[in-house]
Amino acid sequence: MGIFMQNDLGKRVKFQRDKHGWSQSELAKRAEVSQGAISQLENGTSENTRHLSKIAKALKVTTEYLTDGKEMLKDQMPPMEDYVIVGGSKAGQHPSHDEYVMIPQYDLRGSCGSGSMAGEVSVSGGIVFKKDWVSMIGKQSENLAVCHAVGNSMYPTIEEGQVLLVDITETEPKSTKIYLIRIDGLHYIKRLIHMFGKWIIRSDNADKNNYPDIEIDADRMGDIQIEGRIVWKAGLL
């Protein structure tokens, strides 16, 4: 299960329950299910969704809201009307839903150094992109998420504080690509390289004394949680 909230049904149930100010037992009472069923669903210890329609009705949302996460993301992101186009023939206008799409921005800091703690991750806003540009790079907006980089291990490819676009569906490693990965409870942004039957976790920084390569046997790649591939970075001046 990935860290991004649209992949987690339990987080969506808890998010809506918290919005109502209800305890798990209160939601269970309103949905006419056991409190244990709510707890197991929210904690991810059960994938039993036979009570989902009753839970959705109690929460006053659709079952699709809970199962696919797209509606929840819209709830958490600011309206497009809060944004203004800067420059060009449409400067000063609000971006239209026909031409633009908002990608969720998470409060995740992917470490380009010694690792960032992999705790709970939530949406902290959104960044607007042109739909044509998203199509041009061969991506689907619903598969993208925004996070930020910290540290210098991926310099000069990725710099401290840069905004990064992650394709959360690309969770199978491809040699030479850069990924957001999780190891032992820490998040890293690293390049993965397949060489002589092994994988190398590499920092792009030329200072290998401080940022050495890490070699891992191919059969141990399952110990690494790949959260997505970095497909774009915003430039800094």
Residue 4, judged by CB atoms within 10 A of its CB (0-12, 13-18, 19+), counts as buried
Q: Residue 4 above 70 pLDDT?
A: no
172-217 pLDDT, tens digit each:
999 999 999 988 878 899 999 999 889 999 999 999 999 999 999 8
Give the three-class secondary structure for 2.
coil
Q: Mean pLDDT in the chain?
A: 86
Q: How confident is the model at residue 88 (pLDDT cuts 50, 70, 90)?
A: confident
User: Does domain 5-76 bear CATH number 3.40.225.10?
Assistant: no
Preceding omega of 156 cis (within 30 degrees of 0): yes
Q: Residue 1 above 80 pLDDT?
A: no
Q: Residue 136 above 90 pLDDT?
A: yes
Share of the chain above pLDDT 90, in %: 47
Q: Residue 49 above 80 pLDDT?
A: no
Buried b (16+ CB within 10 A) or exposed e, 135-174: eeeebeebbbbbbbbbbbbbbebbbeebebbbbbebeebe
Could you tell me which CATH class the domain 88-233 is placed in? mainly beta
d(Cα 153, Cα 188) in Å, to the nearest integer? Answer: 10
Residue 17, judged by CB atoms within 10 A of its CB (0-12, 13-18, 19+), counts as buried
Give the three-class secondary structure for 227.
strand
Q: Using H for helix, E for strand and C for coil, what is the string for 84-151? A: CCCCCCCCCCCCCCCCEEEEEEEEEEEECCCCEECCCCCEEEEEEEEHHHHHHCCCCHHHEEEEEEEC
Among the listed residues 9, 15, 126, 6, the one whose alpha carbon sits nearest the alpha carbon of residue 70: 6
Query: Is the distance from CB of 188 to CB of 115 less than 8 angstroms?
Result: yes
d(Cα 80, Cα 82) in Å, to the nearest integer? Answer: 5
210, two tokens: 């401080």
Query: Domain residues of the chain, as ranges?
Result: 5-76, 88-233
Q: Residue 115 above 60 pLDDT?
A: no
- The reported pTM is 0.76
d(Cα 11, Cα 210) in Å, to the nearest integer? Answer: 38
Q: What is the pLDDT of residue 28?
A: 95
**In which element (H, E) is residue 230 found?**
strand 225-233
